[in-house]
Structure 1
Amino acid sequence: MASSSTGMAPFERVAETLRQAVRTGRLQPGTKLPSNRELAKQEGVSLVTAQKAVGILQDEGWVIARPSVGVYVSDTQPAPQPPETLDELRQEVATLQATVTELKERVSDIERRQRPTKAD
């Protein structure tokens, strides 16, 4: 399956990486983001690219910049935007299908482990 960042500009890829970190809980509300220089280094992009990614996230409401203090994950996530193109919709469907498959496997594994054995 293609990566969800395929075809994205570097600043879009960095922004999406941070969005995913918030969605999955790796970045909690109130967490301070690394400096733009550190973010650029972590993501292997230029400082300007990192700044642009953080600016987009700020415009979308994912992060809040506090002058002279830093950039923090917002307490509330913006509402998800519907897909704008057929390719975006296909990517979302593929992601959902992969998630459902993973969940089915996890449930099956849990059920297998909970089955009584003959020794019980």
Structure 2
Amino acid sequence: MATGSAGLAAYERVAAAIRSAIADGRLSPGERLPGNRTLADQHDVSLPTLQKAVGVLQDEGWLVARAAVGVYVSDNPPPADAAEPVDPRALRRTVVELQAEVRSLRQRVEHLEQG
């Protein structure tokens, strides 16, 4: 697994390992990943844990699922520097800032609609 993965949940360690493999070229864009059971065995995790990691990587744009075919490395994965884990505190700050901005925009729209 990736170094610096201490303190991460099992699915996060698996996701970090796959991100790293993509970022350093061990997995290439368009390459099909092994089946979920094989990947779960390779990373010594349960099938649900592996599926959660794959779901996270799909949401982040690293992987693409093709129905009834398999999971592939995205043709346009995020930049290599995106392979670094996200700081949860920074992510939380960003969410709070976005929520404040949405509230502000909502108020402006309501004001415009009333005027």
Shared fold (TM-score, shorter chain, > 0.5): yes
- 1:84 deviates by 3.0
Q: Any idea what SS the aligned residue of 2:15 has?
A: helix
Letter in 1 for 2:40: A
Identity of aligned residues (%): 56
CA distance in 1, matches of 2:33, 2:39: 8
Contact 2:27-2:73 at 8 Å conserved across structures: yes
CA distance in 2, matches of 1:45, 1:19: 17
Residue equivalent to 2:66: 66
Residue equivalent to 2:6: 6
Q: Any idea what SS the aligned residue of 1:33 has?
A: coil
Q: Structure 1 residues 82, 47: CA separation in 2 closer, same or farther (over 3 Å shift)?
A: closer
Residue equivalent to 2:103: none
Off by >4 Å, runs of 4+ in structure 1 = none
Residue equivalent to 1:84: 87
Q: Structure 1 residues 22, 5: CA separation in 2 closer, same or farther (over 3 Å shift)?
A: same
Q: Structure 1 residues 85, 46: CA separation in 2 closer, same or farther (over 3 Å shift)?
A: closer
RMSD value over aligned CA atoms? 1.9
Letter in 2 for 1:49: T
Contact 2:16-2:85 at 8 Å conserved across structures: no
Aligned 1:1-120 pairs, distance under 5 A? 3-79=3-79, 80=82, 83-84=86-87
Q: Structure 1 residues 65, 4: CA separation in 2 closer, same or farther (over 3 Å shift)?
A: same
- 1:76 deviates by 1.2
TM-score, with structure 1 as normaliser: 0.65
Q: Which has the higher helix share?
A: 2
Letter in 2 for 1:8: L
Q: Which runs of 5+ in 2 are unaligned?
A: 90-115
Report how many aligned residue pairs link the two structures.
Answer: 84
CA distance in 1, matches of 2:49, 2:30: 23
